[in-house]
Chains A and B, each alone.
Chain A
Amino acid sequence: MITTLLLVSMAIILAAGVLALSGLIQPNIVWRRLSLLLMLPGLAGIIVASVWVMAGDLQVLIPLFEVSELLAVNFYLDRLSAFFILIICVVSACVTVYSLGYVEHQPEPAQRQWSIGLMAIFILSMIGVVASENYFALLLNWEIMSLSSFFLVILERKQAENIKAGIYYLVMTQLSTVFLFFSCLVTYSSTGSMAVNASMPAMANLSLVLAGFLLGFGTKAGLIPLHKWLPYAHSAAPSNISALMSGVMLKVAIYGLARITLNLESIPLGWGLVLLGMGTLSAVLGVIYALKEHDLKKLLAYHSIENIGIIVIGLGLYSIFTFYSLELLALASLAGALFHSLNHALFKALLFMCSGNVINAVSTRNIEQMGGLVKRMPATAGIFLVGAAAISALPPLNGFASEILLFQSYLGAFQIPSLFVAIGVFASLAAFALMSALAAACFVKAFGITFLAIPRSEAAAQAHEASPSMIAAPAILAGLCVILGVGSFHFFNMMGLNLPVPNLLPVTIIIITVVLIAFLMIRYLKIPVRKIETWNCGSANIDSRTEYTATGFSQPILNFFSPIFRTREMVERSFTDVFRSVLHHGKAEIKTMQIFEERIYLPVARFAMRIGRWVSNWQNGDLDNFILYGFIAIVISILAAGWWL
């Protein structure tokens, strides 16, 4: 029954994709609407199937085709994969609704058809990765996912920077596939099983396998220092695709990490420490980079790195606590990591959709050019505010509900017998708290500069609210953010999980009551209200140039953390007189050093280029040379055969 439901639903989504692509012959809006609407029942079917699996704690094997034991494409659902499929489908369904309005803003009709068709394939491949029974199917779907998202990133190909971002993304994502491929093969050769849920015993080359998986999945998830592609690709892609990539595709990589961690028969302490370390680094640096960013979509992309960091911290804590057999704490951290995966998918998709509305309205991604949008786009602003509050972990929303699980696990760290590990975990806790507060600061900036005060450009002053479907989709997600936050305690109880979290419902009721009492009281006082211009210290008209800017807003924090940024300051001056007092010509420049690019990426790239040049010397197109190579190869193989046989 579940098998049929799942396969039929996937077929419907595929049909929707084919419908959209066949519309390329003659692009028109009816085709597009039809194919998008057709996707919804498919996604709904898969949601039902995954909830079914989770509720019944079932394990479903769906054989599709099998050439040999190695080359088989089979699906397998259990609680973990069903949970991630649920995340994919809920967000995808909202993105589909959003796309009804959004794709019509893309300039070329053919582009619109492509974007819907590729989106269907992209969604299917992500479901495929999570549902795969064996490594072959996983890698196959992984590649389809990478390629379809690559084409979606370069959809707006007229801008040169989008192509650059796409290539960057393609290279990094292929690199991640190489690492995964390597680890899958080594796992197969050591355990003799291709199944993704086969338990991994403590084998000799386990650390090698884990390193490969960490690099492979970590690159896709955007863990620092493997993150560089993420801000480029997420800001280049159309906003509906950014919502999918950031909300969902990163979670597919998290699924991989979670699956591997749960497969381990005995988790090595090192795995937990590495995950905790990388997670903490990503969380803190991600948010600090976000503070510096004034491109709305890049800012959100850096927050994705931060949130992936939080999730990986949860997996790391789970591994550490499991190593020391602290089951209750391990359960809380794992639940925190998985719950945060869901929550991040919801509010990040919401934020990307709202940013799409804003960017459509003002035709720029720079928040210094926005401002005052709350009056012109009230619905988008209100929804964005809910998302901003959720991602800043404000109670009683869902971001807080998952972060408090991690806080509770952190606070239990004193039960760890090893002194050094315990101190390390507490140090990570300090970084986690810092990250959380910086995220709040960053979203005060993002919301305040984008939506509040006076418009900073003509375009912002002329902005209009987005179409209904582009508001309905993020509004649904905003509703989910509130429900999952306020009801978190009850949901955990329903699932039979006894987790150390406070019930957020009473506090919510108290807050609402107090707000109502205060409101009615002041209403009763019948206070007169007057509207006048903002006090401007007696100067002439106050306008957008006198406002506080995003740069100004984040400057104190950046100043506190200036050692992290390693800015380069260059001052050139020439003077007209010998006393160096009358300036003739001057130039000053402050540039942020791209530490990871300059210290890691470029050296690796240069090394690869050098090898490439060296190899290309041998490959000079001369037939005689190639015959000589062939001859040498044959001689060596004969000699080698004689030596060993």
Chain B
Amino acid sequence: MVVVVIMTVIYYLLNPLFILLISPLFMGIIKKIKAMAQGRTGAPVWQPYFTLHKLFKKEIIYSDNSSFIMKVAPYLNIGFTIGAATLVPVLFLPPEGSVPANIILFLYLLVSAKFFMALAGLDAGSVFGGMGSSREMSLSAIAEPITIITFAAIAFVLNTTDITQMFATTASNSLTEFPTLLLTGVSLFIILIIETARVPVDNPETHLELTMVHEAMIIEQSGPNLALMEISHAVKQTLLMAVLINLLFPLGMPDSFTFAGVALGMVSFAAKGSILCVIIAIFETSLAKIRFFRLPSFFMVALFLSFVTIVFELIL
């Protein structure tokens, strides 16, 4: 009993902290690879850490029109995202039943973060922010059924709605036991692209009005507030990556806490995450931005694959 409590506490401290610390690295890797693919040298992979450090020293600028929403949104955003980070084990599996790692709860914590971010976008009365909020919520609305159906398919294949148990199942079985997970893996990858505002859905490098979604929404944020927004965006990306990695390639994930196991877990997750980052970067550079109103057809690929998974599993 005491062991379970101690392990749970360690999990609650270590898991979000590790995700928090490694997330900017993944951002940096993607930027670096993209730069290389475009024939540039690019900033070092550590650049996001320097940027965050710089932002934490800068002053905060509020608009005359903005209200308390602008002030609380960054905190709520990081709160909800870290709350979600406690539900996705990356270093070791917490004791069974100790963490309410429900998959729907995980998704809705991310939606909550987005909700307040979108409100903050409207708060300053700037058209850029409003446009970003509007587009972000629109994309989120059409992405939501895909996300839920994909996770329904995964829940169906693995016969649980608990993320911890999902990871436990995939860790103790080989992928050949669940061939349909590969289909949902493609869907998960598309969801990852959508939710992290990447090409072809959005372009994270620009503030141009053609691509303005995520970057436009946070355009009025400054200083530490902007840093919090950037961190939670990076953490969200890591979380979705972690779901994809631990479902398909759970190798190296210990099922309980040991120092050696956690060290191994850190190294293996960092390695697998870096590989996924390279894939994301290459995917991004090889595609052009899709016109905003054409996006639903791109999303439908993911919906189709997840539905096929469900139908396959129902028939078999």
Contact = CB atoms under 8 A, between A and B. Distances in A.
A502 B100 contact: yes
B228 A518 contact: yes
A229 to B, nearest CB: 28
In this complex, the member of B76, B99, B137 whose beta carbon has the largest number of chain A beta carbons within 10 angstroms is B137
A426 B104 contact: no
Contact of B125 (A433, A438, A454, A503): A454
B141 A422 contact: no
B257 interface: no
Contacts of B76: 511, 515
Given A437-B140, A514-B82, A555-B134, A530 B61 contact: yes
A308 to B, nearest CB: 20
Given A441-B140, A444-B137, A552-B130, A433 B148 contact: yes
A448 B109 CA distance: 20
B224 A395 contact: no
Interface in A512-547: 512, 514-515, 518-519, 522, 525, 527-536, 542, 544, 546-547
Given A374-B69, A394-B112, A400-B108, A530 B62 contact: yes
Given A419-B315, A506-B100, A514-B79, A426 B307 contact: yes
A441 B137 CA distance: 5
Contacts of A559: 293
SS of B interface (majority): helix
Contacts of A514: 78-79, 82-83
A62 interface: no
Given A502-B102, A547-B130, A433 B56 contact: no
Contacts of B228: 518
Interface string B31-72: 000000000000000000000000011111111111111000
B161 A433 contact: no
Contact of A394 (B108, B130, B149): B108
Interface string B126-168: 1101110111011011111101110010011000010000000
B292 interface: yes
Interface stretch (A114-122, A406-414, A593-601): A406-414
Contacts of B112: 389, 394-395
In this complex, the member of A378, A389, A447, A510 whose beta carbon has the largest number of chain B beta carbons within 10 angstroms is A510
A411 B152 contact: yes
A453 B124 contact: yes
Contacts of A560: 138, 141-142, 293, 296
B134 A556 contact: yes
Interface in B262-316: 292-293, 296, 303, 307, 310-311, 313-315
Interface string A370-405: 001011001001000000010011110000100010
A374 B119 contact: no
B131 A548 contact: yes
A529 B62 contact: yes
B86 interface: yes
Nearest to A400: B108
Interface in B70-103: 74-76, 78-80, 82-83, 86-87, 99-102
A166 B83 CA distance: 48
Contacts of B79: 510-512, 514-515, 518
Interface residues of A, number: 81
A381 B69 CA distance: 10
Contacts of B315: 419
Nearest to B143: A437
A408 B103 CA distance: 10
A500 interface: yes
Given A507-B83, A547-B127, A532 B137 contact: no
Nearest to B315: A419
Nearest to B157: A414
A58 interface: no
A533 B68 contact: no
Interface string A14-33: 00000000000000000000
Nearest to A558: B138
B111 interface: yes
B292 A395 contact: no
Contacts of B61: 529-532
SS of A interface (majority): helix
B60 A527 contact: yes
A559 B296 CA distance: 11
A529 B59 contact: yes
Contact of B108 (A395, A522, A530, A544): A395
Contact of A441 (B87, B141, B310): B141
A515 B78 contact: yes
B60 A554 contact: no
B125 A534 contact: yes
Contact of A510 (B86, B129, B310): B86
A49 B68 CA distance: 42
B115 interface: yes
A526 to B, nearest CB: 11
B149 A426 contact: yes
Given A429-B152, A548-B134, A557-B141, A453 B310 contact: no
Interface in A479-528: 500-504, 506-507, 510-512, 514-515, 518-519, 522, 525, 527-528
A181 interface: no
A433 to B, nearest CB: 4
B126 A534 contact: yes
A552 B60 CA distance: 29
A449 B122 contact: yes
A431 B146 CA distance: 10
B261 interface: no
Given A434-B142, A453-B123, 20 more contacts: A389-B112, A404-B108, A411-B152, A431-B145, A433-B148, A437-B142, A441-B141, A447-B119, A452-B125, A453-B65, A453-B130, A510-B79, A511-B80, A518-B79, A522-B224, A525-B224, A534-B63, A552-B130, A554-B134, A560-B293
Interface of B: 12, 16, 56-69, 74-76, 78-80, 82-83, 86-87, 99-102, 104-105, 108-109, 111-112, 114-115, 118-119, 122-127, 129-131, 133-135, 137-138, 140-145, 147-149, 152, 155-156, 161, 220, 223-224, 228, 292-293, 296, 303, 307, 310-311, 313-315
14 contacts: A378-B68, A400-B108, A404-B108, A426-B310, A430-B145, A431-B145, A437-B145, A443-B115, A449-B122, A452-B122, A453-B123, A454-B65, A529-B62, A557-B141
Nearest 9 CB-CB pairings of A with B: A548-B130, A437-B144, A502-B100, A453-B125, A448-B122, A433-B148, A441-B137, A502-B102, A556-B138
